[in-house]
Chain A
């Protein structure tokens, strides 16, 4: 990959990442627009959770990851447990399942 391609990839990424900060900035958006952005992020994050739990490349695979994320979800049901605790539970469970597979 040439320096030119790398620099262009960096520029494209920065344009996408900064569009919100440059165009919108700290201005308060109309309620409907900010709600739409919020819902869009929820939808994207849901897809991201499912994709990183259940896919390998572009095919669906059910494996140790699902058990690990389920363990994280169980940890989250306890009010006092933090997101960090959930992440540790998920990682440890996945590693254990893979160890005994």
Chain B
């Protein structure tokens, strides 16, 4: 995991460890610094802990996806590879379902692009946490999903350690879940255990904990308005409409 972390994050973690060194082992000038109250910097482990409740649900859905993919004619290694490389639940479900219904390459790729379009604003919102050189940024950007967005913010800013910790946890849960489903079948039905509501509950939780003003309420109303179009527009379009409407709300003076 160390090699995945950009230099800037490693420095921050190193600084954090230094600031938590035992006073007895600190040098006098360090003790002065230790006494000054500094805000606690979240660690990668904090991100892991925040993501664990979601990871359980994600692995159950991964198993469900793995079963669906194999039933639709994909090999188990291909479905696992898809989860590792695409790492976008709803788009993967749609791609496999559309492919098994006989859709062509263009249809599959269009649905993937539409369902993932929401990751554009989500990726921009998370961009302060995605640092380092271009290769590092591309590797870290792979971890951009709804779940990492939901748990990576602290004091209104996305935190790199929280993003990395939660992203790796969710990625591992998704890939391992897919592997279990691909080889062992649908061992856990996520709907029987109620895991399917873990996502809206967590998203609602992080929405509720953020700071609110009239504009944010208006953005929520536009999201609800976009949802009202569910029965009239293709899957994925509602979120694209919500994203665009939210942009307009934010740009308006």
A-to-B contact residues, CB < 8 Å: 1, 3-10, 12-14, 16-22, 24-26, 32-33, 35-55, 57-60, 64-65, 68-69, 72-73, 76, 82-84, 86-96, 98
B64 → A minimal CB distance (Å): 14
> B149 an interface residue at 8 Å Cβ cutoff?
yes
Q: Tell whether, in the assembled complex, residue B86 and residue A1 are in contact, meaning their CB atoms are under 8 Å apart.
A: no
Q: Tell whether, in the assembled complex, residue B197 and residue A90 are in contact, meaning their CB atoms are under 8 Å apart.
A: yes
Q: Which of A10, A41, A69 contacts B85 (CB 8 A)?
A: A10
> B4 an interface residue at 8 Å Cβ cutoff?
no
Main secondary structure of the interface of A (DSSP, over half): helix
Q: How distant is the Cα of A60 from the Cα of B219 in the complex, in angstroms? A: 22
Q: Tell whether, in the assembled complex, residue B112 and residue A21 are in contact, meaning their CB atoms are under 8 Å apart.
A: no
Instruction: From B74, B203, B205, B243, name the one whose CB has the most chain A CB atoms within 10 angstroms.
Output: B205
Q: How distant is the Cα of A43 from the Cα of B234 in the complex, in angstroms? A: 18
Q: How distant is the Cα of A90 from the Cα of B243 in the complex, in angstroms? A: 26
Q: Report A-chain residues with C-beta under 8 Å of the C-beta of B130.
A: 18, 20-21, 25
Interface size class of B (residues with CB under 8 A): 35 or more
Q: Which of A4, A26, A37 contacts B125 (CB 8 A)?
A: A37
Q: How distant is the Cα of A95 from the Cα of B243 in the complex, in angstroms? A: 32
Please tell me which stretch of B22-30, B31-39, B131-139, B175-183 contacts chain A, meaning at least 4 of its Cβ atoms lie within 8 angstroms of it: B131-139
Q: Tell whether, in the assembled complex, residue A22 and residue B223 are in contact, meaning their CB atoms are under 8 Å apart.
A: no
> B172 an interface residue at 8 Å Cβ cutoff?
no
Q: How distant is the Cα of A73 from the Cα of B203 in the complex, in angstroms? A: 11
Within 8 A of A (CB), among B76-127: 78, 81-82, 85-88, 91, 95-96, 99, 105, 108-109, 112-113, 116-127
B-to-A contact residues, CB < 8 Å: 50, 52-54, 57, 73-74, 78, 81-82, 85-88, 91, 95-96, 99, 105, 108-109, 112-113, 116-128, 130-131, 134, 137-138, 140-142, 144, 146, 149-151, 191-210, 215-216, 218-220, 222-224, 226-227, 230-231, 234-235, 238-239, 242-251
Q: Which of A44, A57, A86 contacts B201 (CB 8 A)?
A: A86
Q: Tell whether, in the assembled complex, residue A69 and residue B215 are in contact, meaning their CB atoms are under 8 Å apart.
A: no
